[in-house]
């Protein structure tokens, strides 16, 4: 409030006559004195002078000057007006403060009159204090103080001093301080006064803990505690009679007050950096008065519960606007404002609470046979927390922002529900769901789809607008109703939807432009910042306060008054009360929970048809089902494709235990280069689980066994290089397998399979992989990166069951109890004796009797090892391959192979006898005497001499003039078959004498059996003898370093002693037999 400035003294120019008058008076005085001196006493000049002086004085008095009195009178009238205005303003301010913060001793009168008795939540009055007014008197300064008119200036100064302060209530916001600590003899009374003011404030704003709190209905987000100094130090406390710890806390981060009686006045002081500072008179309240206020607040007047209001027929109350406000989602032709709507509200406007109120109210007013909900929360907040327990809730879909796959599932679920409703109507010959329900009550309940944060959903998946548009078009006839909620209105995302949204609910909105776009005016932007304030706009606009269902709902028998002195019962929220009363399972689910992160094998794996294995669960959201997924091997081979760590191996493990349960007596052969499937060896049906070293044997066994059998390859890339023999053989087996009962399952990292192999692998199962490399790209884009999660051959998501060693053991016991025989793949033994060789060779029936053997003209087969595709005795057919080379590193078993061959040749020679048509002669030598004791062994020099004699005899057998029949039967010469056995042949044993005979070796009965070290083999390949015999030779390649090869077309590798490859028409894995004396030597 402003006042005029005080007037200043006048500053007028003096008249000339007034300035001259002093001089005139001086001259007159001097003249009078002169006249008295010079004249006689008879004529006194005084007679003339004094009248003259009086005349001058009168003239001067009549001269014009300033009127100060009038100026003073005018300014004082202004001061009186300002004083009246200030008094009125001060009285209004004091009255307003007294109304906002009434004296605690008068609070009960306000409650009794039904008036508001307190100000803002958490703001409480401390007492009466001298304080500056809201509009202090402002005095403009127009000049220096010495120029002011003194009387007016003093009057204005006195007014300013008397109106500079007022005595009015002083208040404090409790939330601004860690705690409020009060000392002094009036501390308890002031604490009760503060509590009394909180008691009279909104009961939903704060929770009060203190004296007489058993009467209080207060339940708010903030808790204020009133206690003494014995309570532990915590925040939001008002403490009287504090302990030293409380005093330290109050001085550091709280408010420390002192209420001390002085001369009959309760003086109020506050602790500052300069010590105690008195500033007012503290309020006081007795315990009786506080108890009276608390008891008065225990009365709940009237009702604002939506549970006591009528509803039904797709209509329910959602708030109040003097009268209840109903949301009727029926179409306008049936008297409603539906079927679809839009709800927009900024953060903190109460949008989530409004959506809860809609669900709770509609659930309270309708049965599950009349109405179902689909509740969607894109961001996964707590909008619909707990509502899944309602029997009306067909689906609660959350966390769509974090899991893209859920968006696709929701799209399929909604479209599937529309499809099912259309099919049922078509089958019944009806056009609308309402007509169908009249004929079949409760068979097709209305579906209320509420989507929170739909704008974010459309931002991430714009194509979802087509789903909403489809529901908008068909929702009326199918009784499917949409309520889309978001924080902002983005009209560009509502393409195709605007014409279907018949009602709109606006809470407080960010901008006036957005409000006008939503409801045609800026009213939504101008709503108060109170959660729940909203506008319902359809045919008409209604402003209302949304129901609050997350607050306590008093039982009906306590709505009037609680029994005095009784402890209040624990109350539930309106939401909890409705959910607890109605909780039951939904009978019309359209959304099943997403596939589990981990699916245990016992939950899924069951015996099914032969050659079928149940391996997981397939998700079919369009059909609203999750069905077991079976891998059927009866008519197709399967491939499991997935990136590393996607679960291919444990998918195979589950497949094997499923086959073991459902396919008795079907052997299973497993190639497992990583060793992850080793535990499956315990199953009776699993014939073998092998690595790369036994792959060839595995393929041999799987190819030779008759009947149904399963071949599993874990890692097609580990079978061999592109174009390798193993790969080509696998392709041939797979191509013809189904005709012969062979069923193949392979795994791969990518789809870069051979076209000939991919064409026959018609069963596809994809685990997690890059969408660009996938066959099912759309499904892969939304596939979670979880082990065992994949895409079925139908293009749907599935989860493979996780099987453990415990599951394998369980299946083993089940199969053992039903008498399942153990199936084992025969493998090469670690030790193979010559005795076993003789027994198995005799069992083959290939040994002729003595008479027949004596008549034979051809070179005999010589058994020496176990191996081949059928894992049987392997014999060197010296008639077809006259020579045999044994190559390996030191200790690989080359000498053992030669000793076994020599022994077997002696046995054959004994069988034929010396009188046979083709007896057997052996000539053997070596450098290290490893063959000493073998038949025909000679030292080096004697060997050379004997070899020379044999060379001469062989030259005589070279055919000169023979018939073709003689050449075929080798009957133009007589004598023995000559076998030259040389170990360490790379040390030049003198074999060059045979160079001219070697080209005719097959015709003249010469057979070279040579052993060489692999490290020196490459140097000897161009020797004349090697060049002459290599095309007529069979090979035994034993263990050797990789860098020494290849030899005979075989890559070298380190093997166990005696283990190798017999190379003739095709390579065979073998193990060379040895005698007992060799075992003892080792």
Q: What is the pLDDT of residue 181?
A: 94
| 920 plus 1067 within the same structural domain | yes
Q: What is the pLDDT of residue 448?
A: 95
Looking only at the bridges linking them, the beta strands covering 393-398 and 371-377 are parallel
Nearest one of 761, 760, 785, 757 to 771, comparing CA atoms:
785
| 292 plus 333 within the same structural domain | no
Q: What is the pLDDT of residue 1081?
A: 44
| 407 plus 485 within the same structural domain | yes
861 Cβ neighbours under 8 A, 6+ residues apart? 846, 875, 876, 877, 878, 879
3-state secondary structure of 280: strand
E strands of 904-1005, at which residues? Answer: 920-925, 977-982
Nearest-angstrom CA–CA distance, 1066 and 1050: 11
Per-residue model confidence as pLDDT tens digits over 502-521: 999 999 998 899 999 889 89
| 468 plus 546 within the same structural domain | yes
Pairs from 584-587 (Cβ < 8 Å, separation ≥ 24): 584/368, 584/390, 584/391, 585/391, 586/368, 586/372, 586/390, 586/391, 586/392, 586/393, 586/394, 587/368, 587/391
pLDDT at 160 over 60: yes
Q: What is the pLDDT of residue 50?
A: 56
pLDDT at 570 over 50: no
Q: What is the pLDDT of residue 40?
A: 57
CATH of the domain at 944: 3.40.50.300
pLDDT tier at 145 (50, 70, 90 boundaries)? low
Better pLDDT: 217 or 947: 947
In a domain, 547, yes or no: yes
Q: What is the pLDDT of residue 646?
A: 92
pLDDT at 299 over 80: no
pLDDT tier at 207 (50, 70, 90 boundaries)? confident
Nearest one of 695, 692, 730, 1068 to 871, comparing CA atoms:
1068
612 Cβ neighbours under 8 A, 6+ residues apart? 630, 631, 632, 633, 634, 658, 662, 663
In a domain, 563, yes or no: no
In a domain, 369, yes or no: yes
Structure tokens at 144: 């220096």
What is the distance, to the nearest Å, from the Cα of residue 829 to the centroid of all Cα atoms in its chain?
A: 52
pLDDT at 847 over 90: no
In a domain, 870, yes or no: no
CA atoms within 13 A on the CB side of 931: 32
Task: Tell me if 1049 is assigned to a ligand binding site.
Answer: no
Cβ-contact 642, 648 below 8 angstroms: yes
Nearest-angstrom CA–CA distance, 781 and 23: 118
Q: What is the pLDDT of residue 562?
A: 46
pLDDT tier at 5 (50, 70, 90 boundaries)? low
Q: What is the pLDDT of residue 427?
A: 93
In a domain, 66, yes or no: no
pLDDT at 658 over 90: yes
Q: What is the pLDDT of residue 667?
A: 94
Task: Tell me if 427 is assigned to a ligand binding site.
Answer: no
pLDDT tier at 659 (50, 70, 90 boundaries)? very high
pLDDT at 1080 over 50: no
Q: What is the pLDDT of residue 762?
A: 93
Better pLDDT: 643 or 853: 643
Longest dimension (CA), the chain: 220
Task: Tell me if 348 is assigned to a ligand binding site.
Answer: yes
Cβ-contact 504, 540 below 8 angstroms: no
3-state secondary structure of 354: helix
| 340 plus 292 within the same structural domain | no
Task: Tell me if 350 is assigned to a ligand binding site.
Answer: yes
Q: What is the pLDDT of residue 410?
A: 87
**Residue 47's domain spans which residues?**
16-58
Q: Provide mean pLDDT across the span 52-76.
A: 62
Averaged pLDDT score across all residues of the chain:
85
Q: Is the pTM of this model over 0.75?
A: no
Nearest-angstrom CA–CA distance, 205 and 218: 8
Per-residue model confidence as pLDDT tens digits over 382-418: 778 889 899 999 988 887 766 767 788 888 889 999 9
What is the distance, to the nearest Å, from the Cα of residue 770 to the centroid of all Cα atoms in its chain?
A: 19
Nearest one of 104, 100, 147, 144 to 127, comparing CA atoms:
104
pLDDT at 301 over 50: no
pLDDT at 16 over 70: no
pLDDT tier at 11 (50, 70, 90 boundaries)? low
Q: What is the pLDDT of residue 54?
A: 57
Q: What is the pLDDT of residue 901?
A: 92
Task: Tell me if 189 is assigned to a ligand binding site.
Answer: no
| 673 plus 762 within the same structural domain | yes
Select from 797, 817, 837 the last residue of a domain.
817
pLDDT at 55 over 70: no
| 243 plus 384 within the same structural domain | no
Q: Provide mean pLDDT across the span 181-193.
A: 92
DSSP state of 593: P
Q: What is the pLDDT of residue 158?
A: 79
Q: Which of 217-226, 760-769, 925-934, 1048-1057 is least confident? A: 217-226
- Which is the catalytic residue, given 289, 353, 453, 701? 453
Q: Provide mean pLDDT across the span 154-166.
A: 76
Task: Tell me if 722 is assigned to a ligand binding site.
Answer: no
pLDDT tier at 359 (50, 70, 90 boundaries)? very high
In a domain, 586, yes or no: no
Q: What is the pLDDT of residue 588?
A: 86
| 651 plus 523 within the same structural domain | no
Report the number of distinct structural domains present in the chain: 5
Q: What is the pLDDT of residue 323?
A: 79
3-state secondary structure of 629: strand
What are the DSSP calls for 765-777, one per residue? Answer: EEES--GGG-SSH
Better pLDDT: 1064 or 216: 1064
Q: What is the pLDDT of residue 49?
A: 58
In a domain, 868, yes or no: no
Q: What is the pLDDT of residue 146?
A: 60
In a domain, 967, yes or no: yes
Q: Provide mean pLDDT across the span 232-238.
A: 90
CATH of the domain at 216: 3.40.50
pLDDT at 815 over 80: yes
Select from 507, 525, 558 the last residue of a domain.
558
255 Cβ neighbours under 8 A, 6+ residues apart? 172, 177, 179, 180, 181, 270
pLDDT tier at 733 (50, 70, 90 boundaries)? very high
Q: What is the pLDDT of residue 555?
A: 55
| 293 plus 337 within the same structural domain | no
Per-residue model confidence as pLDDT tens digits over 70-113: 777 777 777 777 777 777 887 887 877 777 778 888 887 777 77
Phi, psi of 617 (to 5 degrees): -125, 135
Q: What is the pLDDT of residue 63?
A: 52
Q: What is the pLDDT of residue 404?
A: 66
Select from 817, 843, 863 the last residue of a domain.
817
Q: What is the pLDDT of residue 302?
A: 37
| 515 plus 625 within the same structural domain | no
Per-residue model confidence as pLDDT tens digits over 884-899: 999 999 889 999 999 9
Catalytic residue status for 1076: no
What angle separates helix 648-662 from helix 805-817, to the nearest 10 degrees?
10
pLDDT tier at 771 (50, 70, 90 boundaries)? confident
Q: Provide mean pLDDT across the span 1005-1029.
A: 86
Nearest-angstrom CA–CA distance, 969 and 963: 10
| 343 plus 220 within the same structural domain | no
Better pLDDT: 321 or 394: 394
pLDDT at 1060 over 50: yes
Nearest-angstrom CA–CA distance, 883 and 991: 13
Q: What is the pLDDT of residue 37?
A: 65
Task: Tell me if 850 is assigned to a ligand binding site.
Answer: no
The secondary structure element, H or E, covering residue 742 is strand 742-748
Tell me which residue has tokens 């991919």. Answer: 758
Nearest-angstrom CA–CA distance, 745 and 1025: 49
Task: Tell me if 346 is assigned to a ligand binding site.
Answer: yes
Q: What is the pLDDT of residue 379?
A: 76
The secondary structure element, H or E, covering residue 900 is helix 894-912
pLDDT at 958 over 50: yes
What are the DSSP calls for 816-835, one per residue? Answer: HHTTPPP-------S--BHH
3-state secondary structure of 180: strand
Phi, psi of 745 (to 5 degrees): -130, 125
Tell me which residue has tokens 């397939």. Answer: 618
| 889 plus 1011 within the same structural domain | yes
Percent of the chain's residues with pLDDT above 90: 36
3-state secondary structure of 1007: strand
């Amino acid at each position: 409030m402003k006042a005029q400035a005080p007037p200043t003294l006048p500053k007028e120019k003096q008249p000339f006559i007034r300035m001259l008058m002093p001089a005139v008076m001086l001259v007159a005085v001097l003249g009078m004195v002169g006249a008295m001196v010079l004249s006689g006493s008879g004529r006194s000049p005084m007679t003339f002078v004094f009248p003259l002086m009086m005349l001058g004085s009168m003239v001067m008095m009549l001269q014009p000057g300033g009127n100060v009195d009038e100026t003073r009178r005018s300014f004082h009238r202004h001061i009186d007006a300002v004083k009246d205005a200030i008094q009125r303003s001060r009285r209004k301010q004091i009255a307003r403060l007294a109304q906002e913060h009434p004296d605690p001793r008068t609070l009960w009168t306000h409650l009794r009159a039904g008036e508001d008795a307190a100000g803002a939540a958490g703001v409480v009055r401390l007492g009466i204090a001298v304080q500056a007014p809201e509009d202090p008197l402002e005095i403009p300064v127009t000049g220096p103080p010495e120029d002011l008119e003194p009387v007016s200036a003093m009057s204005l100064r006195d007014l300013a001093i008397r109106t500079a302060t007022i005595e009015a209530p002083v208040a404090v916001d409790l939330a601004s301080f860690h705690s409020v600590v009060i000392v002094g003899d009036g501390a308890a009374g002031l604490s009760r006064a503060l509590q009394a003011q909180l008691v009279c404030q909104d009961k939903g704003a704060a929770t009060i803990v203190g004296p007489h709190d058993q009467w209080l209905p207060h339940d708010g987000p903030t808790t204020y505690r009133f206690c003494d100094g014995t309570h532990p130090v915590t925040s939001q406390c008002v403490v009287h009679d504090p302990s030293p710890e409380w005093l330290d806390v109050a001085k550091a981060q709280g408010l420390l007050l002192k209420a001390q009686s002085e001369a009959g006045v309760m003086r109020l002081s506050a602790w500052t950096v300069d010590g105690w500072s008195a500033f007012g008179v503290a309020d006081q309240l007795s315990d009786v008065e506080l108890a009276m206020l608390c008891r008065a607040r225990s009365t709940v007047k009237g009702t604002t519960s939506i549970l006591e209001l009528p509803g039904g027929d797709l209509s329910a109350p959602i708030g109040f606007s003097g009268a209840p406000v109903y949301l009727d989602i029926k179409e306008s032709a049936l008297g409603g404002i539906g079927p679809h709507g839009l709800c927009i509200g900024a953060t903190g406007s109460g949008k989530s609470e409004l959506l809860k109120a809609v669900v709770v109210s509609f659930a309270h007013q309708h049965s599950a046979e009349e109405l179902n909900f689909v509740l969607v929360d894109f961001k996964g907040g707590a909008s619909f927390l707990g509502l899944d327990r309602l029997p009306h809730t067909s689906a609660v879909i959350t966390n769509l922002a974090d899991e893209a796959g859920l968006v696709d599932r929701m799209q399929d679920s909604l479209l599937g529900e529309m499809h099912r409703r259309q099919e049922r109507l078509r089958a019944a010959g009806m056009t609308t769901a309402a007509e169908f329900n009249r004929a079949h009550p409760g068979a097709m309940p209305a579906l209320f789809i509420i989507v929170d944060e739909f704008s974010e959903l459309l931002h991430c998946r714009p194509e979802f607008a087509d789903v909403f548009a489809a529901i908008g078009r068909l929702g009326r006839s199918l009784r499917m109703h949409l309520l889309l909620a978001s924080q902002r209105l983005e009209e560009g995302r509502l393409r195709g939807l605007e014409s279907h949204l018949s009602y709109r609910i606006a809470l407080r909105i960010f901008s006036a432009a957005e409000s006008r776009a939503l409801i045609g005016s800026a009213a939504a932007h101008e709503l108060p910042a109170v959660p729940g304030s909203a506008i319902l706009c359809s045919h008409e606009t209604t402003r209302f306060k949304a129901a609050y269902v997350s607050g306590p709902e008093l039982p009906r028998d306590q709505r009037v008054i609680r029994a005095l002195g009784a402890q209040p019962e624990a109350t539930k929220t309106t939401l909890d009360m409705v959910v607890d009363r109605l909780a039951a399972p939904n009978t019309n689910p359209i959304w099943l929970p997403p596939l589990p992160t981990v699916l245990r094998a016992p939950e899924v794996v069951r015996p099914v048809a032969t050659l079928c294995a149940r391996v997981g669960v397939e998700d079919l959201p369009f059909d609203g089902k999750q069905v077991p997924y079976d891998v059927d091997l009866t008519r197709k081979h399967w491939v499991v494709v997935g990136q590393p760590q996607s679960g291919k191996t444990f998918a195979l493990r589950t497949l094997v235990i499923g086959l073991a349960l459902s396919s008795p007596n079907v052997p299973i052969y497993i190639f497992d280069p990583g060793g992850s499937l080793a535990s499956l060896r315990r199953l009776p049906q699993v014939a073998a689980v092998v690595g790369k070293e036994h792959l060839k044997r595995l393929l041999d066994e799987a190819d030779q066994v008759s009947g149904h059998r399963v071949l599993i390859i874990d890692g097609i890339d580990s079978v061999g290089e592109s174009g390798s023999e193993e790969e080509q053989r696998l392709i041939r087996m797979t191509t013809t397998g189904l005709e012969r009962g062979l069923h193949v399952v392979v795994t791969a990292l990518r789809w870069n399979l051979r076209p000939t192999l991919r064409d026959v692998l018609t069963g596809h199962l994809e685990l997690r992989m890059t969408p660009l490399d996938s066959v099912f790209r759309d499904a892969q884009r939304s596939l979670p990166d979880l082990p065992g999660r994949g895409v079925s051959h139908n293009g749907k998501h599935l989860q493979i069951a996780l099987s453990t060693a415990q599951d394998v053991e369980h299946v083993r016991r089940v199969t053992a109890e039903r008498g399942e025989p153990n199936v084992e793949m025969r493998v090469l033994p670690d030790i193979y004796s010559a005795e076993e060789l003789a027994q198995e060779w005799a069992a083959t029936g290939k040994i002729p009797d003595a008479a027949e053997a004596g008549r034979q003209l051809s070179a005999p087969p010589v058994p020496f090892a176990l191996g081949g595709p059928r894992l049987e005795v392997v014999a060197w057919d010296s008639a077809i391959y006259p020579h045999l080379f044994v190559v390996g590193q030191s200790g690989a078993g080359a000498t053992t192979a030669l000793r076994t061959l020599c022994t077997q040749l002696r046995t054959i020679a004994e069988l034929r006898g010396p009188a046979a048509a083709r007896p057997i002669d052996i000539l053997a030598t070596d450098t290290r005497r490893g063959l000493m004791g073998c038949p025909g062994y000679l030292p080096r020099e004697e060997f050379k001499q004997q070899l020379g004699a044999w060379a001469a005899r062989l030259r005589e057998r070279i055919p000169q003039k023979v018939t073709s029949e003689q050449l075929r039967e080798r009957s133009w010469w007589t004598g023995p078959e000559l076998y030259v056995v040389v170990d360490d042949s790379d040390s030049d044993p003198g074999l060059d004498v045979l160079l001219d005979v070697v080209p005719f070796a097959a015709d003249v009965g010469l057979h070279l059996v040579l052993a060489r070290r692999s490290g020196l083999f490459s140097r000897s390949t161009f020797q004349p003898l090697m060049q002459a015999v290599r095309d007529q030779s069979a090979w035994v390649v034993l263990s050797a370093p990789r860098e020494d090869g290849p030899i005979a077309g075989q890559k070298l590798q380190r093997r166990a002693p005696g283990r190798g490859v017999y190379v003739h028409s095709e390579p065979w894995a073998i193990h060379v037999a040895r005698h007992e004396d060799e075992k003892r030597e080792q």
